Structure 1
Amino acid sequence: MNFKIGDFVRFVDEAIEGHITSFLNDDIIGVTDESGFEIPVSVNKITAVHGDMKRQDDEDSPAPVVGEFVEKGIYLAVTGEPKDGLAKFWLVNETSFQLLISIGETQSGKQKGHFAALLSPSKTVEFHKANFSAVGKWPTFSIRIIRHANTLHTSQPILEEEVRIKPISLSDPKTRLDLLAEKAWVIQLDIEKKDIGIQRLKDFGK
């Protein structure tokens, strides 16, 4: 077969592909692979590749590596525009965990169940609607989440958060989350809490 500079070829005996970049002599051709190295090879040891051709032994290649386990990325998000009136509350799961979710509504020191669901990895769920005109009266949500996975992962405690969106919170800029169709005001629920010395502040005030 006649080859020319630029032809895309594959090695007969090895899983190497590349473009012909030089003719070293009558029998040896220089093939540059995707890493940028030129490899000398006998003209009898390469074959032209047309389109998406596969070697027979490609079928025995290892399966692609599964993506890394994602342990962080659980968000409460609020979408909507004040001028349009309606706010929507979402839980967003960007982790590899299945989430068992229980959300209660706190009123006068007591709670009532508000929402419960099982949320799969890379999914979202809407759990509440409210009017922007009543933002000062939006409820305090008591959120409890159990993280579950069938693959090996770092043990995670039950996630417990009390969340209330205040009017001042809506003055912050919105954030884009890949799983939501629009920007939102976002609170990350599984972010590591820093010890700001609350007890020392209390003691200082005595």
Structure 2
Amino acid sequence: MAFKIGDLVRFVDEPIEGHITSFQANDLIGVTDDTGFEIPVLANKLTLIHGNMRRDDDELDEKAEEVSSKFIEKGILLAISGDHKDGLAKLHLINETSYELLVSISDTTANKSKGIFAEKISKHDSVQFYSGNFATVGKWPTFRFQIIRHANSLQQTQNPIVKEQRVRPVDLTNPKQINDILGDKVWFYELDKEEEDLGIDKLKSHFISHRPNKK
């Protein structure tokens, strides 16, 4: 069975579950449990837990979804939860919008990519797609997100989101903020934030307007 970093696995001989955080010599795999402790175990002593932290038969209490009737267009977040002292970081995609999202996430290196997650995410919902050790943030993948926004009501046409994002260690030194959907404090990146167009004309006008006046 092919495992990959971030997979949720269960020990065959013990009642232990955790996420794969490293591959080691002699067919050993490092599995980090909820306490943040990495345990080396033979690959043949692990079994993959399929699914994404939530089973299809789980009843999602649609929270008497009194989310306002106003259509929410913005709020697609890459969020990181967990604490440095615990060791284990969990990466989530949070959908605060009123769109349903069709999502593909890849690990991208040198113009090549490998898919690590693909799923539909409902409006006002979230999903965990990766986990890693805080001690190895610099070795986490560069994530490539491809996101299609879907709405059953008439809305402004939206282009698909195609964006690469790397989590930098320095970003995880900033204060965390509470996220209502996760019910936890997180660091986050806005994936649907419009990048400012710093074209040549804008740069010219900026430097001209800030040029010192000659006396």
The equivalent residue for 1:119 is 121
User: What CA deviation, in whole Å up to 9, does each residue of 1:69-117 have, x standing for no partner?
Assistant: 1111110100000110000000000111000000010123310111001
Residue equivalent to 2:151: 149
Alpha-carbon distance in structure 1 between the residues aligned to 2:86 and 2:155: 43
Q: Specify which of 97, 101, 104 is matched with residue 102 of structure 1.
A: 104
Cα distance, 1:191 vs. partner? 1.2
Distance 1:198-1:114 versus aligned 2 partners, 3 A rule: farther
Change (3 A) 1:173 1:200: same
Paired residue type of 1:138:
W
- 2-side partners of 1:199 and 1:119: how far apart? 39
What is the one-letter code of the residue matched to 1:159? I
**C-alpha distance after superposition, 1:122-144 (max 9, x if no partner):** 10000000001111101100000
Q: Is residue 188 from structure 1 mapped to residue 187 from structure 2 by the alignment?
A: no
Count residues in correspondence: 137
Q: Which amino acid aligns with 1:147?
A: R
Cα distance in 2, alignment partners of residues 136 and 112 from structure 1: 18
- Give, in whole Å, the separation in 2 of the partners of 1:176 and 1:154: 29
Determine the structure 2 residue equivalent to 1:139.
Answer: 141
Q: What is the TM-score with the length of structure 1 in the denominator?
A: 0.63
Task: Give the corresponding residue for 2:49.
Answer: none
Pairing 1:1-206 to 2, within 5 Å after superposition: 67-197=69-199
Give CA deviations for 1:160-179 in whole Å, capped at 9, x if unaligned. Answer: 11000011111121112210
Structure number, greater radius of gyration: 1
Runs ≥4 in structure 1, deviation > 2 angstroms?
A: 196-201
Deviation at 1:199, TM superposition (A): 9.3
Q: CA RMSD in A?
A: 1.9
Q: Percent identity?
A: 49
- Whole-Å Cα distance in 2 between the matches of residues 194 and 176 of structure 1? 26
| Equivalent residue letter for 1:161 | K
Amino acid across the alignment from 2:89: A
**d(CA) in 2 for partners of 1:145, 1:131:** 26
- Deviation string 1:17-64 (CA, Å, 9 cap, x unpaired) is xxxxxxxxxxxxxxxxxxxxxxxxxxxxxxxxxxxxxxxxxxxxxxxx
Structure 2 stretches of 5 or more lacking a match? 1-67, 204-215
- Secondary structure at 2:170's aligned position in 1? helix
Report the 3-state secondary structure (helix = DSSP H, G, I; strand = E; otherwise coil) of the residue aligned with 1:173: coil
